[in-house]
Structure 1
């Protein structure tokens, strides 16, 4: 099997807890040949922990390395566009963590660049590659006419989980202040481009969470049902930490909610309803690996009520995602979460923002 030589840009929690363990699990397909992080202390300690010899002071140096075939862009969201673009100029394939960028225009720009370069770029919506999700999607047509669907992400942030299971390495106060200030300014400019120069803190946080945790569910929703006709309504509260949106699919509606707080739980997933059936899937926290996922299908007939369970599925979604990335690069396999596909996520985000602004 062809081994892809990969370099990682960004070595934060997602790299340490999810991607590096998944890459080690797939050593027959991947070899980590380069690392970059803006924190020298994180870069040195992660290189030592994972036995990676080559470290780079800049993302540009990493993507130019001749022994890097593909790049995992795991940097802060505001840098995704720049890092993916640099990798494409260098002729590399890319797996970029969601979101692909922070604006629709930037995602569209990257899609055009990827097409021109003839390189694979996959957006890291790992839920869409999870075996349990694929099993649920395959059963959807058997349900009959859909009457409603609920999607949700109720969660506390990752440290509550990974501090009990993983020793995450954080910067030792060595990120240059000028770089941090420039990064914050770039993020603010990108978000205000969508939300407006006068956007409230709640709206800005709402957009941050839409492009963050909510993007998994919005992308999965499109995979299951296609694009909605419109966003019928949206409301943000709790300073931006809670959002609810109603999406119009013509014959049925979909509601989506996220809630981010400090309760120790992760409740993400969806329920799809017909008149007599319900299909449900819950996603566990990604910060604990190989937790089981089960698809539940409830059916009611005159004879009674029946529940069918598919699974449990223990395969890690990040492993499944990387397997699909490898297949796409080495064998022309399908990319479920392409840049072109992701443009539609941003159309929905923009419409939700418009509803939140009262348009």
Structure 2
């Protein structure tokens, strides 16, 4: 900005004063103005330097926040979120359906007593043992299926990604059902290693209410009296039950979800939260029904073999064969009504909770290999 010019005041100018009062005033004013202009220039320079720095810092902070919010988790971080979502989904659903599982197990183990359907089974258990009996095995159920859910869902996403990376995305889309089946089978195998001891404890508590007062006493008693073999006596049946169940569960769900989304005329990314929830519920219900039928015979054998200890020298395989012959086809499907209700509801809830929690944690999608609509 140009400096303002101060002219000498003619009123104070006089040849009689050397220098005159007017000149002194004018000189002082001019010096003050010059100093002010100098300070102003310095201030503007400083403000420019520090203002630019402050502005740049602000922009950097904004970029950091933006980048943090937009970057999706990867690697261990991503699969840990899948595992957490799976653990919560399985723990919540299995825990909530513990009363149904208690009645279902009683029907399988004592069909001569509990032979009037699921509703009557509830009434019989309550009349005989009280309402609290319906929560028998809640502890091992929640603990066991938390671990199993983490390994199953997290493992499924992991092995699916491995398969896609191995064969390529185009080949994976053409063979997606085989990938769904393979990834779920591998994931379930490792999940069952963790689940089996807790499932053995749960069934023992349900079948023998006086066996122990809860998870830890029951677990400790089996370990003390039967050792590791007691926990894994049902490992064969649990694989026979859980692996086909999980294969059907994930493969049918993926196909059902794909068909349901295609019927909407949109892609998965175009669906809002409530629409995705309904898709997951519908797909999960269909998958649960299919999985329940496929795994029912093994579920019955698992309940039977964990009810009590085997005879000395009797192997697990021979026990299973003997039980299957004694039960026959009809006996192997005892309690199918209760299990259809339980597994259909449970699976629908699992996929809904899993997907909602997964999205809330920022672990969107996973390895998607559904057919892209043309």
Q: TM-score range by the shorter chain?
A: under 0.3
The structure with the largest strand share of the pair is 1
Give TM-score scaled by structure 1 length.
0.23
The structure with the largest helix share of the pair is 2
